[in-house]
Structure 1
């Protein structure tokens, strides 16, 4: 099976080594001499006698594969040099950029992305101000503020927002103050005008909570989605419905093929299809999954309407991956890119055609097989990335996918006819789909969490999938992969039983400390701290709440094992003790009006910790005092959550 795929898909032999070079890029110091040596070797073999060249043909193939690996390494280096520029703005310098994303609400105000005239992108945070809502995508922004690296809270198991932004070549952020910015409205591009027109029609004829879902289904505009609604779709494993994906583009492609049947000129039909496909791709923001589908459909269209020939779907998939990675090698880190290609590959490998006299029975079996195939092939990666599994993904897909297809075609019709009765029908369908998804998402055991696996587990599970496809011969490899995974996981499990960890969490305006011994965790701090943050960290350490044997807490004094922690959140009492209290850590929280030199009169401190519940100005004062007194300290808002083994 795999030999046949490699023979019919030559681009697979190109894209695999090319991707290896992107995933594990080597320094140019080694790559350039390697490329020169390989080229000389390849050319040298070409001058040898024919019978020698025939014997060395295998080695020439290996040389070409290594050159593709080097090509991937060099492309990553070139892109990083082109994109990775840090802004060093001098004080009072006015920066000018273009708004590159719609204004979104954040925890303390609003945020957006600005592209400077030098092509670097900055994450901009605005204070709560009604004037911010007048800013639109495509406007010019003049601003002045301190440019900083994007922060990461460092909480164990939490989402690394800094790394996420880095995959989009955004490395810095600016927190603007009121009066330190001004925007200038500019004429919008054709794509922005088309998108705004679509949003206006959707809001006018559908409206309400469902308008955000309708906009996400049609043009991938997710900024109006209700957060609880998104959670329901994630819990049922059908979030791909509200995120524009290859499925949406395939539906539009099928609609185009049907509607252009009357056109007698194949080449003109192909040009129209390609223009509409890429126009829709750009209109939706050109996400990785849509780009994959657009490139594949372009290849299919060119072959069908211009060259009058069909090609292997595996070859189309590999070609699209190669072209997209040449355009932007960072796409390989994009979760949407990974899941999109894996899902299509799973459908190609695991989906088997069914012969049945009943049309509806055949379609039902196809829908079931496609849903299971896509879920099976993405299952290991989803466990690694999200640590959860939607138990009822199959009924959710069988009910929501046909409804979303009907809604998508209805929205396209709404853009053409713009009638209130059609908008009311679409709103009713959207309400029905949301109700079904919400009901499934709240069934007992709808989402199984805490299923995190390591990279070794991902590799082992994919080896098992490949072994299953290989038939009886693959059983040995499957058992070997599972045994090797068990041997790798066993030492980690034994280490978890002996772990002793203290975590000072990084959440603004809150204090939280977890003490972990083995698989038991005990908390000290504010009850209002984020439960999701605590759950992620405890899943990461495989620990659950309980009572620690060596844990004692008396007010603000905590003793766990051989570590002592004192929490100071108010002014110190009058007078000084005759003997200092010795503590390993002194945690300053909730802006106490104390000075470090006064604390030294009460405590013999090993390390001062400033958590995120205190203001920036107060933390800066404490830091200055610690520098002057040469004391050891750690600032949680600056350095991230403090995690220490004891």
Structure 2
């Protein structure tokens, strides 16, 4: 099978080394030298005598593969240098940029993203201010403020927001103060006006909580979605329903084919389909999964209606990946891009073998089995990566898909009709369907065992699971590969399990306005800090270290003095007592929390500390004072708001 796929999909042989070059780029100097050497070698073989050309012909393919690897590295390096521009303006310098996403609520108040005139993107945080609500996408923002790198909590197992922003070429942020910004209304683009018109119609004729879901289904506008609703869809593993994906574009493509079947000129029909497909893609924000589907459908349409040629779906998939990665190699790190391609690949590889396992006479049974086989095929190839990224598996993904996909299809077509006719009775029908779909999904999501969490796997585990999936296609011989992969996976897990048995870790968490410390020994953890520390943060970190709460035998606490094993910690959260002790208390760490009115030089009279830690419960201005003192006194310190959570093994 795999040999047949490679023969019928030549672009696979191009895209695989190209992707490898993007993922594992070599230094630019080495890449340039190696590329020149390979080019000289490739051209030199072409000018050799016929006998030598015949003998070396097999090596020309290897040289081309290496050249594609170098090309991937060069494209990735060029794009990174083009996008990764850090700016360092003075705090009183006025910056101007265009709002590129709608303003959303955040922990600090509001946030959005702007694009400066020099093409850099900044993450902007506004204070809680009613004037912020007047800012619209496409407006110009004028502001002054200190530009800083995007922060990351650094808490174990936590979502790395800094890395997530980096995949979108956003590296810096600004926290604006009241009165330090103003916005200017700008004429919106044609696509923006079209999208706003769609949103107005949906809110007028559907409205309520369901309008946010209707907006997400139709044009991928997710900023009005209810958080509890999104959680229900994630619990059941069908969040792709509310994220514009290839499924939505395929439905629109099918609708276009039906609407344009009367058109007798194939090339004109193909051109119209391509224009509508790309117009919709740009209207929805051009996410990675939509771009994949748009490029694939463009290739299919071009071959079928314009060139009168057809190619295999594998070749179309590889070609779309190659074109998109040439345009933006950073897409390879996008989770939506990865899951989208894996889902399509799973359907191509597994759908027909699965569908052939059973046969039914009744039409409704065949349609039901088609949908079932389709869902299983897509899930079988995406779930290893899902376990690696999210550490959980939706157990009831199959019934949720069988209910939500047909309903969302009817709703999507109904919304397209609503844009044309704008009738209240149609809006009421769509609202009723949306309510019904939400109730069913919520009921499935709250069933016992709906979501199995804590299933974290390593990279070796992902590779082993994919080997097992591929072994299923190889028949009886594949069983040996499957057993071998599982045995190797077990051997890679064993050292980690042994290490977990003897682990001794101290974690000082980075959570604004709170102090939290976990002491871990083996599989037991003991907590010290505020009772209001986020349970979700603690749960994620403890799942990462595979520990449960208990009492450590080597743990002692006397007020603010803590001793665990060979580590000592003193927590200072109030003013120091009058006078100085005759002998300093020797400790490994002094943790300053909750804004104590103390100076570092005064602390030196009480403690002989190896390191001073400033957690996120203190204000940034106070932390800045302490940092300045430590610099002047040449003392070792850690600022958690700047450097992230402190994790130390002892």
Provide TM-score, normalisation by structure 1.
Answer: 0.98
Q: Aligned-pair distance for 1:517?
A: 0.5
Count how many residue pairs are aligned between Structure 1 and Structure 2: 646
Instruction: Give the Cα–Cα distance (whole angstroms) in 2 for the partners of residues 110 and 91 of structure 1.
Output: 21
Q: Aligned-pair distance for 1:626?
A: 2.0
Secondary structure of the 1:471 match is coil
State which of 615, 640, 645 in structure 2 corresponds to 1:641. Answer: 645
Matched residue, 1:145: 145
Q: Aligned-pair distance for 1:102?
A: 0.7
Matched residue, 1:593: 597
Instruction: Give the Cα–Cα distance (whole angstroms) in 2 for the partners of residues 469 and 53 of structure 1.
Output: 38
Secondary structure of the 1:11 match is helix
Matched residue, 2:422: 418
Secondary structure of the 2:191 match is helix
Instruction: Give the Cα–Cα distance (whole angstroms) in 1 for the partners of residues 637 and 46 of structure 2.
Output: 65
State which of 628, 634, 637 in structure 2 corresponds to 1:630. Answer: 634
* 1:592-627 Cα distance to aligned partner (Å, 9 max, x none): 122222223333322211100000111112222222
Instruction: Give the Cα–Cα distance (whole angstroms) in 2 for the partners of residues 427 and 579 of structure 1.
Output: 73
Instruction: Give the Cα–Cα distance (whole angstroms) in 1 for the partners of residues 635 and 63 of structure 2.
Output: 57
* 1:378-417 Cα distance to aligned partner (Å, 9 max, x none): 1111111011111111111111111111111111111111
Instruction: Give the Cα–Cα distance (whole angstroms) in 2 for the partners of residues 104 and 328 of structure 1.
Output: 26
Instruction: Give the Cα–Cα distance (whole angstroms) in 1 for the partners of residues 56 and 455 of structure 2.
Output: 48
Q: Aligned-pair distance for 1:629?
A: 2.5
Q: Aligned-pair distance for 1:464?
A: 1.6
Matched residue, 1:232: 232
Instruction: Give the Cα–Cα distance (whole angstroms) in 2 for the partners of residues 13 and 540 of structure 1.
Output: 38
The question of 1:77 aligning with 2:77 is answered yes
The question of 1:301 aligning with 2:301 is answered yes
Matched residue, 2:283: 283
Secondary structure of the 2:553 match is coil
Instruction: Give the Cα–Cα distance (whole angstroms) in 2 for the partners of residues 496 and 311 of structure 1.
Output: 51
Instruction: Give the Cα–Cα distance (whole angstroms) in 1 for the partners of residues 100 and 73 of structure 2.
Output: 29
* 1:535-590 Cα distance to aligned partner (Å, 9 max, x none): 11111111121221111223222221121212121222333334333222111111
Aligned positions of 1:232-631 closer than 5 A = 232-352=232-352, 353-354=355-356, 356-631=360-635
Secondary structure of the 1:524 match is strand
Q: Aligned-pair distance for 1:365?
A: 0.7
Instruction: Give the Cα–Cα distance (whole angstroms) in 2 for the partners of residues 426 and 153 of structure 1.
Output: 42
Gaps of 5+ in 2: none
Q: Aligned-pair distance for 1:466?
A: 1.6
Secondary structure of the 2:568 match is strand
Secondary structure of the 2:580 match is coil
Secondary structure of the 2:115 match is strand
Matched residue, 2:16: 16
The question of 1:117 aligning with 2:117 is answered yes
In terms of mean alpha carbon deviation, does 152-161 or 601-610 score higher? 601-610
Q: Aligned-pair distance for 1:264?
A: 1.5
Q: Aligned-pair distance for 1:59?
A: 0.4
* 1:39-58 Cα distance to aligned partner (Å, 9 max, x none): 11111211233343233221
Instruction: Give the Cα–Cα distance (whole angstroms) in 2 for the partners of residues 497 and 61 of structure 1.
Output: 49
Instruction: Give the Cα–Cα distance (whole angstroms) in 1 for the partners of residues 365 and 63 of structure 2.
Output: 51
Instruction: Give the Cα–Cα distance (whole angstroms) in 2 for the partners of residues 487 and 31 of structure 1.
Output: 36
Runs of 4 or more off by more than 4 Å in structure 1?
353-356
Q: Aligned-pair distance for 1:357?
A: 3.6
Aligned positions of 1:97-108 closer than 5 A = 97-108=97-108
In terms of mean alpha carbon deviation, does 51-60 or 524-533 score higher? 51-60
Q: Aligned-pair distance for 1:514?
A: 0.5
Matched residue, 1:158: 158
Instruction: Give the Cα–Cα distance (whole angstroms) in 1 for the partners of residues 91 and 223 of structure 2.
Output: 33
The question of 1:37 aligning with 2:41 is answered no
Q: Aligned-pair distance for 1:328?
A: 0.3
Instruction: Give the Cα–Cα distance (whole angstroms) in 2 for the partners of residues 457 and 415 of structure 1.
Output: 47
Q: Aligned-pair distance for 1:472?
A: 1.8
Instruction: Give the Cα–Cα distance (whole angstroms) in 1 for the partners of residues 179 and 567 of structure 2.
Output: 48
Q: Aligned-pair distance for 1:630?
A: 2.5
Q: Aligned-pair distance for 1:356?
A: 4.2
Instruction: Give the Cα–Cα distance (whole angstroms) in 1 for the partners of residues 361 and 272 of structure 2.
Output: 36
Instruction: Give the Cα–Cα distance (whole angstroms) in 1 for the partners of residues 48 and 228 of structure 2.
Output: 68
Aligned positions of 1:177-196 closer than 5 A = 177-196=177-196
Secondary structure of the 2:10 match is coil
Secondary structure of the 2:507 match is strand
Provide TM-score, normalisation by structure 2.
Answer: 0.98
* 1:278-297 Cα distance to aligned partner (Å, 9 max, x none): 11000000000000000111
Secondary structure of the 2:465 match is helix
Instruction: Give the Cα–Cα distance (whole angstroms) in 2 for the partners of residues 321 and 532 of structure 1.
Output: 37
In terms of mean alpha carbon deviation, does 531-540 or 497-506 score higher? 531-540
Matched residue, 2:168: 168
In terms of mean alpha carbon deviation, does 282-291 or 591-600 score higher? 591-600
Matched residue, 1:129: 129
Q: Aligned-pair distance for 1:633?
A: 1.6
Aligned positions of 1:52-71 closer than 5 A = 52-71=52-71
Instruction: Give the Cα–Cα distance (whole angstroms) in 2 for the partners of residues 616 and 52 of structure 1.
Output: 71
Instruction: Give the Cα–Cα distance (whole angstroms) in 2 for the partners of residues 360 and 87 of structure 1.
Output: 60
In terms of mean alpha carbon deviation, does 590-599 or 226-235 score higher? 590-599
* 1:6-30 Cα distance to aligned partner (Å, 9 max, x none): 1111110110011111110111211
Q: Aligned-pair distance for 1:334?
A: 0.3
In terms of mean alpha carbon deviation, does 395-404 or 345-354 score higher? 345-354
* 1:132-168 Cα distance to aligned partner (Å, 9 max, x none): 1111111111111111111111111111111111111
Instruction: Give the Cα–Cα distance (whole angstroms) in 2 for the partners of residues 547 and 230 of structure 1.
Output: 37
Instruction: Give the Cα–Cα distance (whole angstroms) in 2 for the partners of residues 66 and 120 of structure 1.
Output: 33
Instruction: Give the Cα–Cα distance (whole angstroms) in 1 for the partners of residues 18 and 424 of structure 2.
Output: 52
